[in-house]
Amino acid sequence: MNYLTRRLVTFPLIMLGVSVLVFVAIRMVPGDAITAMLGTEAGLLTPDQRKALAGYFGIDRSWTAQYWHWLLGALQGDLGLSVTNGKPVLDVILSRFPLTIELALLAVVIALCIGLPLGVFAATRNQKPSDLAVRIFAMLGQSTPSFVIGLLILYILSSVFGILPTMGSAVSLFEDPIGNLKQLILPALTLGFSFTASVTRISRSAMLDVLNDDYVRTARSKGVPALQVIWRHALPNALIPVVTLSGVEFGYLLGGAVLVEKIYALPGLGRLALDAILQRDYALVQGCVLFVALNFMIVNLLVDLAYAALDPRIRLGGR
């Protein structure tokens, strides 16, 4: 069976598994579900109120029945109500989502635009001083947590330049694109820093591998000029591992957004999830986790499509 069809077939199955896991995880919170939902205020309820609430939320039914009820709701976009602000979970998520996805995409663009050329350059200078410099940069970049970078940037900005980036509320991309970019460029650099380092490392080593391949020798034996050997023959092959890595790293970016949004006080999805955990707003936690997992899976599916576009062996299958 074709690789892509297999991915497409398993996609809904894995999503179903993810939803079961999230559902079960939240049901495993110690204490009963009413307390879990209402927090300390649940202590004020009379037994009758409790019973009524249990009936209202459907939690007096069996777990499987509850799961079906919840899943059917989720499929129609009903992820329940957020206890902390009384709004539908989905609405809250959708209002925070654009900022996080923009942040992550910016980080990806930065990482690919810097990391890829840098890695290819280092590979062609294998073992020379410039290669060593790139490798040291990449090693340091991969070892520095985003929140350390973020704090350092803030420290330098405030103590050396005496300025602070816009914090708090989000500047809309459509109303004020320049203001939006100004607001997000530093967080995106912070978030994309270690990703840039890994793209550099992977593209360097992939390129080194590919440059030793037989077909590169063939290209040289045909008299293909050195630059074309790299860009036209080697790079399309070296891109394959870089693309695979990008899918995995995107997950780290979505997670890393939690930290970066906290440092820069940005109202994104990561902060939302963090606050929901701290405030025990379980419906919101559930919604956030499910939503981000879905997005991560869609990105990985896109990565697989890109993978197939790059590699005819995947696209067309065997002989």
Partner 1 sequence: MTPLLSVRDLRVGFGKGDAVKEIVHGVSFDLHPGETLAIVGESGSGKSVTALSINRLIDYGGGRILSGAIALRTRKGEALDLTQTSPQRMEKIRGAEIGMIFQEPMTSLNPVKTIGWQLEEAFRLHRGLSGAAAHKAAIEALERVRIPDAERRLGYYPHQLSGGMLQRVMIAIALATNPRLLIADEPTTALDVSVQAQIMALLAELKRETGTGMIFITHDIGLVAGIADRVLVMQAGDVVEQGPLDQILDAPQHPYTQHLLKAVPHFAGGEAVRHDFRRVDALKQRPALTVDDLTVRFPVTSGLLRRKTGAVHAVESVSFDLMPGETLAIVGESGSGKSTTARALLDLVQPVRGSFEVRGLEGKSQHRPVQMVFQNPYASLNPRLNVESLLAEPVRAGGGRLTSAMRDRMTYLLARVGLPTDSLTRYPHEFSGGQRQRLCIARALMVDPSVLVLDEAVSALDVSVQAKVLELLVDLQKELHLAYLFVSHDMAVVERIAHRIAVVYAGQIVEMGDAAAVLSNPQHSYTRRLIAAVPTIERRRERFELDTRSVPSLVKPIGYEPREASWISYGPDHKARAEELSA
Partner 2 sequence: MADLLRGLLRHPSGRIGGAIVALYIIVAVLAHLGVTPYDPIQQFRIDRLKPPSGAHWMGTDMFGRDVLSRLMVGIGQSFLVAFASVGISAVIGTALGLTAAWFGHLWDGVVMRLMDILLAFPAVLLALLIIAVIGPGTGTSVMAIAFVYTPIFTRVVRGPALSIKSRDFVDAARTFGSSRVYILTRHLMLNLVAPLTVQVTLALAWSLLTEAGLSFLGLGTQPPASSLGLMLSESGNLMEMAPWLLVFPGIAIMLGILGFNLLGDALRDILDPKTRSALA
Residues that bind partner 1 (CB under 8 A): 1, 5, 9, 213-215, 217-226, 233, 236-237, 310-313, 316, 318-319
Cβ 174 to partner 2 shortest distance, Å:
27
**Of residues 144 and 166, the one with the C-beta less far from partner 2:** 144
Tell me: does residue 117 bind partner 2 (CB under 8 A).
Answer: no
Q: Does 293 bind partner 2 (CB under 8 A)?
A: yes
309 binds, among partner 2, partner 1, none (CB under 5 to 8 A by kind): none
- Helix or strand or coil: residue 81? strand
CA dihedral (201, 203, 206, 209) positive or negative: negative
Q: How far apart are CA 64 and CA 95, in angstroms?
A: 31
CA–CA gap between residue 98 and residue 212 (Å, rounded)? 43
Residue 173's CB is within 10 A of a number of other CB atoms, namely 15
Question: In the numeric block, which tokens belong to residue 157?
Answer: 């900005």
Choose one: 65-73, 79-87, 106-114, 154-162; the region binding partner 2 (CB under 8 A): 154-162
Pick 207 or 219: Cβ nearer partner 1 = 219
Q: Are 276 and 81 in contact (CB under 8 A)?
A: no
Chain mean position to CA 197:
17
Residue 48 binds which of partner 1, partner 2, none (CB < 5-8 A, kind-dependent): none
**Contact predicate 228/146, CB 8 Å:** no
For 311, phi then psi, to 5°, come to -120, 105
Question: CA–CA separation, 110 vs 185, rounded Å?
Answer: 10
In the complex with partner 2, the residue whose CB is nearer, 85 or 158, is 158
Q: Work out whether 163 is an interface residue with partner 2 (CB under 8 A).
A: no
- CB neighbour class for 143 (10 Å; exposed up to 12, middle 13-18, buried from 19): exposed
Quote the tokens at residue 202.
């992977």
59 binds partner 2 (CB under 8 A): no
Between 127 and 159, name the residue whose CB sits nearer to partner 1.
127
Residue 19 contacts residue 74 (beta carbons within 8 Å):
yes
Provide the 3-class DSSP secondary structure of residue 311: coil
Select 212 or 228, whichever has its Cβ closest to partner 2: 212
The helix/strand/coil state of 201 is helix
Token pair listed for 159: 């103590």
Count of residues interacting with partner 2 (CB under 8 A): 57
279 binds partner 2 (CB under 8 A): no
Single residue of 53, 148, 224, 306 touching partner 2 by CB under 8 A:
148
Q: Which stretch binds partner 2 (CB under 8 A): 38-46, 94-102, 135-143, 217-225?
A: 135-143
CA distance 114 to 134: 11
Q: How far is the CB of 172 from partner 2 (least distance, A)?
A: 25
Task: Give which of partner 1, partner 2, none residue 213 binds (C-beta under 5 to 8 Å, depending on kind).
Answer: partner 1
Interaction with partner 2 in 30-49: which residues (CB under 8 A)? 30
Closest Cα partner for 89 from 20, 24, 51, 37?
A: 37
Chain residues binding partner 2 by CB under 8 A are 10, 13-15, 17-18, 21-22, 25-26, 28-30, 126-127, 139-140, 142-145, 147-148, 151-152, 154-155, 158-159, 205, 208-209, 212, 250-256, 258-259, 262-263, 273-274, 276-278, 282, 285, 289, 292-293, 296-297, 300
